[in-house]
Amino acid sequence: MNDAVEFSGMVLSSMPVGENDRRLVLMTREEGKITAFARGARRPKSTLLAASNPFVTGRFRLIPGRDAYRLIGADVKDYFTDLAADIPGIYYGFYFLEMTGYYGREGLDGTEMLNLSYLSLKALQNDHLDDRLVRRIFEMRLMAINGDYSPETADEKIRYTCRFIVSAPLEKLYTFAVAPEILQDLSDHIDRCLARVIDRRIKSREILAKFVGN
CATH number at residue 190: 1.20.1440.120
Residue 53 and residue 69 share a domain: yes
Given a contact cutoff of 8 angstroms between Cβ atoms, the answer to whether 73 and 56 are in contact is no
Residue 72 and residue 90 share a domain: no
- What average pLDDT does this structure show over 90-100? 97
pLDDT over 60 (residue 1): no
Question: What digits encode the pLDDT tens for the residues 17-41?
Answer: 999 999 999 999 999 999 999 999 9
Question: What digits encode the pLDDT tens for the residues 171-209?
Answer: 999 999 999 999 999 999 999 999 999 999 999 999 999
Mention every residue, 6+ apart, whose C-beta is less than 8 A from residue 1. Answer: 63
DSSP H helices, the chain, are 81-84, 89-103, 111-124, 131-145, 156-167, 180-197, 203-211
As a whole number of angstroms, the distance between CA 38 and CA 86 comes to: 27
Percent of the chain with pLDDT over 90: 93
Phi, psi of 71 (to 5 degrees): -75, 130
Residue 103 and residue 70 share a domain: no
How confident is the model at residue 85, as a pLDDT?
85
Residue 136 and residue 51 share a domain: no
Torsion angle, CA of 59/102/214/179, rounded to 10 degrees? 60
pTM: 0.96
